[in-house]
Structure 1
Amino acid sequence: MKLFTLLILFMSITACQAQVSYKILEGTWKIEGKEKYEVWESDNSGLTGSSYGIKDGAKRTTETLEIKEEEGKVIYRATVPNQNNGTTIPFTLNADKTEILSFENPEHDFPTQIIYEPVSDSRVLVKVLGADGKGFSYYMDKQ
């Protein structure tokens, strides 16, 4: 009986420590209170996406995104046309933070951290932070 109890306890602890999958981001997400969106589509090696806004009825892409698994790591890449000379900036998933998706690049000026914190199946809190932990956040709802 003790062995069975220990096995159940071990399985419960292991289940609680499972990493949130980046695949929860697949779909179209709308930033709360704004006409701004993030769209993620699945492909063979991860997700590709973009951020865009609607202004005067026209769609304007502001950022291209991807999340790919490479050499045992999950890498988030963001390319903003008018920043960093158009260079793509990589952020590595911190696998130690199991309740959230925390993509980090301490070498980048800002942001150094992009966090997706699931609130429910259809809502996430996004935090964009600098090295000092300051930045901004917003909610996105799945469309």
Structure 2
Amino acid sequence: MRYLVIIIVAVFVFSCKKYDIHGNEIKTYEELEKSKWLLGEWQKSDSLGILTEKWELLDDSTFVGHSYFIINEKDTVHNETMQLMQVDKHLIYSTTTKGENNDNEVQYQLTEEQDSLLNFENPKKDFPKTIAYFKKKNNILVIQQLGSASSKKVQKNYYLNKVK
């Protein structure tokens, strides 16, 4: 009877995890997997210029992004690199904007996730304190930044279309 219990427990434990052919555990990144809708190129073009944001899969636990705004078809006035990575069970959004924060990285943690919503917060920042990504119908991405500047609440919304 004792051996039967040990076998049942062993089968249960090993059936919950996935292993490769060498016996190494294959990790799953469920939080990052839920964010795959963000991958691809998004863009907004108007009389001021072209805002582009691209997200690609770096590895099984990380997406990398690049956001830039070009005016006059040649001058880059905004240049930002981002990472979306799963660390343990937490989804972390990391951003570095050229010319801001001494070009140092700023991290935000996922606080809310739904089918087409990712909401990240960093309570230590004034602006943006919150960065949210919403995917709307017709492949429209809304990037919302919330926070405060000069003791006033500030909200910026960017509407981008998926590039085919």
The TM-score by the shorter chain falls in which range?
A: 0.7 to 0.9
Q: Which residue pairs with 1:134 in the alignment?
A: 154
Distance apart, 1:122 and its partner CA = 1.3
Distance 1:31 1:86 in 2: 25
Q: Is the CA contact (8 Å cut-off) linking 1:67 and 1:77 kept in structure 2?
A: yes
Q: Relative to structure 1, is the Cα distance of residues 110 and 56 closer, same or farther in structure 2, using a 3 angstrom cutoff?
A: same
Q: Which has the larger radius of gyration?
A: 2
Q: Normalized against structure 2, the TM-score is what?
A: 0.67
Distance 2:56 2:153 in 1: 30
AA aligned to 1:29 is W
1:57 and 2:73 aligned: yes
Matched residue pairs, number? 125
1:48 and 2:64 aligned: yes
Q: Normalized against structure 1, the TM-score is what?
A: 0.76
Distance 1:118 1:140 in 2: 10
Distance 2:33 2:144 in 1: 16
Distance apart, 1:98 and its partner CA = 2.4
- Secondary structure, counterpart of 2:102 in structure 1: helix
Q: Is the CA contact (8 Å cut-off) linking 1:52 and 1:59 kept in structure 2?
A: no
Match among 36, 41, 57 for residue 23 of structure 1: 36
Off by >4 Å, runs of 4+ in structure 1:
none
More divergent stretch after superposition (37-46 vs 131-140): 131-140
Q: Is the CA contact (8 Å cut-off) linking 1:114 and 1:129 kept in structure 2?
A: yes
Q: Relative to structure 1, is the Cα distance of residues 125 and 24 closer, same or farther in structure 2, using a 3 angstrom cutoff?
A: same
Q: Which residue pairs with 2:54 in the alignment?
A: 39
Unaligned runs of 5+ in 1: 1-17
Query: RMSD of the alignment, in Å?
Result: 2.5
Distance 1:59 1:47 in 2: 26
Distance 2:89 2:43 in 1: 31
Identity %: 28
Q: Which residue pairs with 2:91 in the alignment?
A: 74
Q: Relative to structure 1, is the Cα distance of residues 22 and 39 closer, same or farther in structure 2, using a 3 angstrom cutoff?
A: same
